[in-house]
Amino acid sequence: MQYQETENFYSNLYDELFPILRSITGPGLRQSYDIFGRYMPLEITSLKSGTKVFDWHIPQEWHCEDAYLVDPNGKTVADMKRLNIEVLNYSEPVDREIELDELQAHLYSLPDLPDAIPYVTSYYKKRWGFCLSQNEREKLAPGTYKAVVKSEFVDGTLDVAQSVLKGQSKKEVMLSSYLCHPSMANNELSGPLVLLGLYHRIKNWPQRRYTYRFILNPETIGSLSVLHILGDHFKQNMVSGLVINCMGGEPEELVFKHSRNDNGILDKLLYHLNNYGYKHGNIPFSPMKGSDERQYNSPGFQLPVCCVSRAFHTGFKEYHNSFDTKEAMGIKPLIDSIDKLEKIFLAHEQCATLENTSPYGEPNLGSRGLYPTISMVSKERERQATELNDMRMLLNYGDKMHDTIDIANLQNKCVTEMSSAIDKLEQNALLEML
């Protein structure tokens, strides 16, 4: 199978990835990277178990071979091989008989959503357990159950994966998504799938002003690991970042949670574009909810990393339970997300702080063929004036203090409309990117 931007391709890829038992470390994560690695080059960086990462330590790998719970009548109540969220993720091993009363403390269900099986994790305290629907739980007969989790904790690594598309500038845009939930659709696979699509779109652009870095990692401890590896690099080079998740579902428009300081290029562009027909939502940063953007936006980093989703920020009933399926997510919305994000990043390519290299007085545009050689008022000349006006604005405000969005705003026009003036001045070395 070769990469194709078709619903069929994405549907098949989804089906291959869905059943894998992922966690924040371990073989399921590596297997998933391998699959993505067939369609985009991925460089893997590994941190050993126990490595100190800021205030945290890399946990051991969780290897889980099998897990099931059998009732007094021999009926299987939970079975990891049927649906891998039925075992508590990161569960410690167990192999014992247990009375229902005692077992209850090891069962997880959702009273408010009685048909759904929850997805539950216990990474930082050793527990064993099973997840099941509230309805099934209420039917459990008293008696002796057989609880088996064939898991072990192994010294290994935590792995992050990245791929870079170089641009004219070292300044870079980071696009990331997370892989660590096992069989989840919208809140797991939708993000990496859209990231793959964006990789191919951006790879095919005739030129790139910026360098683009694509990252896959397990959530939280994975983005902390990315910062452990790349934090200083990001502080120097990142102009915009975007955590991509929950790209499917019903909402028509993307919603961007902005970065903490709301001062990245992408932050500014997202507001600007809304004045010119774009309809995405913009919501402010908060550390109270969210995903990896919380780590990138921690006070020690304050990177301009936004987070995009369709429904994540407002909550949806499929969140972290067995209702989060391919059907609820849909494949079509993923393609639509790729379209919308590419369009935004194409506009982002026009956004930069461009310094006038000839700042003392106006440069002689006539000597460079950029100005009418005859001074005469006429209607004709008025019509030609738009590009010339763009050039004058770009030169006058090419003062290290204004970026192209500011200059577009001064003219009440979209930054994308100034692209020909930007091109000509850059070609004549009258503007240089800061």
What is the C-alpha separation between 424 and 292, in angstroms, rounded?
39
What is the C-alpha separation between 434 and 415, in angstroms, rounded?
17
- Nearest residue (CB) to its own copies, 345 versus 397: 397
Q: Which of 30, 106, 257, 294 binds its own copies (CB under 8 A)?
A: 294
What is the C-alpha separation between 205 and 390, in angstroms, rounded?
25
Q: Which of 231, 251, 419, 432 binds its own copies (CB under 8 A)?
A: 231
What is the C-alpha separation between 22 and 425, in angstroms, rounded?
50
Cβ–Cβ under 8 Å, residues 50 and 225: no
Per-residue contact flags (x/-) with its own copies for residues 318 to 347, judged by CB under 8 A: -xxx--------------------------
According to the binding rule CB under 8 A, does residue 378 interact with its own copies? yes
* Segment near its own copies (CB under 8 A); pick from 68-76, 317-325, 334-342, 346-354: 317-325
Q: Which of 363, 403, 415, 424 binds its own copies (CB under 8 A)?
A: 363
Residue 177's DSSP bridge partners are 216
According to the binding rule CB under 8 A, does residue 123 interact with its own copies? yes
- Nearest residue (CB) to its own copies, 211 versus 291: 291
According to the binding rule CB under 8 A, does residue 295 interact with its own copies? yes
What is the C-alpha separation between 370 and 212, in angstroms, rounded?
33
According to the binding rule CB under 8 A, does residue 169 interact with its own copies? no
Please state the closest distance from residue 209 (CB atom) to its own copies, in A: 22
According to the binding rule CB under 8 A, does residue 362 interact with its own copies? yes
Residues with Cβ within 8 Å of residue 46, at least 6 apart in sequence: 157, 158, 159
Residue 154's DSSP bridge partners are 61
Residues with Cβ within 8 Å of residue 22, at least 6 apart in sequence: 28, 29, 32, 179, 180, 181, 182, 188, 218
Please state the closest distance from residue 398 (CB atom) to its own copies, in A: 6
According to the binding rule CB under 8 A, does residue 59 interact with its own copies? no
State the DSSP code for 158.
E
56 phi/psi in degrees, rounded to 5: -120, 175
What distance, in Å, lies between the first and last C-alpha atoms of the chain?
Answer: 42
Q: Give how many residues touch its own copies by CB under 8 A.
A: 60
What is the C-alpha separation between 36 and 28, in angstroms, rounded?
13
Structure tokens at 378: 């006429």
State the DSSP code for 110.
-
- Nearest residue (CB) to its own copies, 225 versus 416: 225
Please give the C-alpha separations between residue 44 and each of 30, 215, 236, in angstroms, as whole numbers. Answer: 9, 10, 22
Residues with Cβ within 8 Å of residue 16, at least 6 apart in sequence: 35
According to the binding rule CB under 8 A, does residue 374 interact with its own copies? yes
According to the binding rule CB under 8 A, does residue 298 interact with its own copies? yes
Q: Which of 18, 39, 205, 301 binds its own copies (CB under 8 A)?
A: 301
Please give the C-alpha separations between residue 241 and each of 17, 307, 383, in angstroms, as whole numbers. Answer: 26, 8, 39
Q: Which of 73, 74, 105, 112 binds its own copies (CB under 8 A)?
A: 112
- Nearest residue (CB) to its own copies, 124 versus 203: 124
What is the C-alpha separation between 20 and 16, in angstroms, rounded?
8
According to the binding rule CB under 8 A, does residue 195 interact with its own copies? no
- Nearest residue (CB) to its own copies, 147 versus 198: 147
256-285 residues in contact with its own copies (CB under 8 A) are 260
Q: Which of 252, 373, 383, 412 binds its own copies (CB under 8 A)?
A: 373
User: Where along the sequence are the contacts to its own copies (CB under 8 A)?
Assistant: 53-56, 108, 110, 112, 118, 120-125, 127, 220, 223-224, 227, 231, 260, 287-288, 294-295, 297-302, 319-321, 356, 358-364, 366-367, 373-379, 385, 389, 392-393, 395-399
